[in-house]
A = this chain, B = another copy of it.
Amino acid sequence: MKLLLRIKYDGSSYCGFQYQPDDPTVQGVLTEKVSEAFGFDCTITGCSRTDSGVHALGYVAAVEPQDISRRDENWCSIPVEKVHRAVNMRLPCDIAVTGAALVPDSFHPRYDTVAKEYRYVISDGVCPDPFMRDRAYRIRRRLSDAQIALMNDLAGHLVGKHDFSAFMASGSGVTDTVRTLYILEAKRADDSTVCITAKGDGFLYNMVRILTGTLLDAAYGKIKPEEGALILESRDRKKAGPTAPACGLYLAKVEFAKEIDFKAI
C-alpha cells in the first residue's frame, strides 16, 4: 500500500521539487516532515520534476516507508483523512498537503499519469501587483483582445499529437518527443491577468514555458499563427519562441486512469 498526497506549494523559495543535497527542494522538505509525522523514515516519489520557482496547485506524490520490512497493509498509522493535519502542522507555510489517499503498491505517480494540466499566469496590468510578485510573469504592455486571439490562433495549430522537439529545452535526455496536447488556450482572467491553460498526456522539459513564449511571440507579431505547423515540423528549438520565466508556471492538476478520491477532514 502506498499513501498518495495531493500537495499545493509556492515554489518561490525552492530549487524545484526534486531532491538536491545542497539546496532547498520540496521533496527534501516533504521527506523530512512526512517521516517526522509517521515516526520512521519515508520515501517520497513525485509525479513530475518542477523547475526552480515553479508552483503547484495539485501536485501528487507517493509515500512509502523507506524500510521495506515496514511496507505492510497497515504501515499508514494515521487515518488517511487526517494525514493532511499531521503533515501540515510540521510543514513550512509555503507547502501544504490538501488531501491524501491509499493506493495499491503497483501505483506510480509518474508512470500512471494520463494527463497533466498546467496554468501559466501573465500579469499585464498598467502597474505591477505586489501580491503577484514571484507568482506571475510581469509584462509591461497590456495584451489586447486581438493579441490574445493571435495567441489562440497559433495554439490551434499546436494542439494534437505531434513531435514537440522544437518546444523542448536541451538537457533532459528524453528521446521520445511525441506528446499529445489536448488543450492550449489563452484567456483574460481579469483586468490585469491573462492565463494560459495547457493540458496534455505529458510535457517535455520546459515545454509549457516555451509554448508560452511562442504564444507571446505570436501576440507581438514575431510569429504568424499559421507558422505553428512549420515550427513543429522543423523540430528546431530555435524556431520556437523564448522560454517564459518559471515564476508564472503552476502545475494545476494531475490525472490518472482511475480518479483518486483524496480525503481531508
Contact = CB atoms under 8 A, between A and B. Distances in A.
Contacts of A260: none
Contact of A133 (B93, B99, B126, B129): B93
Contact of A9 (B8, B95, B130): B130
B264 A84 contact: no
A264 B129 contact: no
Nearest to A9: B130
Interface residues of A, number: 24
Nearest to A264: B126
A55 B130 CA distance: 10
A117 interface: no
Contact of A95 (B93, B97, B130, B265): B130
Contact of A84 (B88, B93, B99, B126): B126
A133 B264 CA distance: 20
A93 B9 contact: no
Nearest to A132: B93
Contact of A93 (B55, B93, B128): B128
A128 B131 CA distance: 18
Interface of A: 8-10, 55, 84, 88, 93-99, 126-131, 133-135, 264-265
